[in-house]
Amino acid sequence: MNQQRRSVLKYSAVFGLMASAGLISLAQAQEWNKAAFEGKGLDDVFKILGAGSPDKSAAITLNAPDIAENGAVVPVGITTTLKADQMAILVEKNPSALAAQFFIPAGTESFVTTRIKMGQTSNVYALVKADGKWSMAVKEVKVTLGGCGG
């Protein structure tokens, strides 16, 4: 066995180990993805995430209310039967579309719920990356004016 081959093996072994321990996605996860969060429109964010133009998938459920009593707190949950390793929540009409992104290690369910702000009635997108491919679910959430303030 020559020297070169051995070191290649060693390298790939290390890489494999890192990947299996989730270290690569960890490095990615711990560095805030400034470009993605500053992307304005949906397409900008899709591109930065490497999602291209994701297909809609019936395997993804976007759990959000039809009407939000207040745009300051809109509950949004994503569940999928796919084996997700990343999830993202996007709001089409927000100043910056991407609201939150999640990295899901093995052993964690393909499910996450959080709360987001919406400036106005808009489509909300749940993006899921599974087996290296992004897909999505879409739902319109109506934001109503409430209280006496108008």
Partner 1 sequence: MQRKFTLGLTLGILAASISLSSLVFAQTATDEIAKYREMIADGNPSELYEVAGEDLWKTPAGPKNATLEKCDLGLGPGVVKGAAAQLPRYFKDTNKVQDLESRLMTCMQKLQGRNPQEMVDAPFQKGPKKDMEAIVAYVVTLSKGDKIKVSTNHPKEKEMYELGKRAFYFQGGPMDFSCASCHGEDGKRIRLQDLPNLTTQKGAALGWGYWPAYRVSSGQFWTMQQRLNDCYRQQRFPFPIYASDLTIALSMYMAKNANGGTVETPGLKR
Partner 2 sequence: MKIMNIKSLLVIGVFALVSVATQSSVIAQQANDPKFNKMMKDGFRAEGIAGLDRIQQDETQKFCSDPVFAGSVKGQAMREKIQKINMDSIKQPSDGKYIGDWKKGEAIAQSGRGATWTDKADTPIGGGCYNCHQIDKKEISYGTIGPTLWNYGKLRGNSQELIVYTWNRINNSKAYNACSNMPRFAHFKLLNEQQIQDLMALLLDPASPVNQ
Partner 3 sequence: MSDPMRVRAAENGGIVDVKILMKHDMESGQRKDAAGKVIPAWHITTINVKANGKDVLNGQFGPAVSKDPFLNFKYKGAKGDKIVVNWVDNKGDKRTDEATAS
For residue 24, count other CB atoms closer than 10 A to its CB.
Answer: 12
Q: Under the criterion CB under 8 A, does residue 89 sit at the interface with partner 1?
A: no
Parallel/antiparallel/unpaired status of strands 84-91 and 98-103: antiparallel
Parallel/antiparallel/unpaired status of strands 122-130 and 133-143: antiparallel
Q: Which of 13, 17, 26, 72 binds partner 1 (CB under 8 A)?
A: 72
DSSP 3-state of 93? coil
* 108 contact choice in partner 1, partner 3, partner 2, none (CB below 5 to 8 Å, kind-dependent): partner 3
Region near partner 1 per CB under 8 A, out of 17-25, 28-36, 64-72, 129-137: 64-72
Minimum distance from CB of 30 to partner 3 (Å)? 6
Q: Under the criterion CB under 8 A, does residue 148 sit at the interface with partner 1?
A: yes
Q: Under the criterion CB under 8 A, does residue 119 sit at the interface with partner 1?
A: no
Beta bridge partners of 136: 56, 127
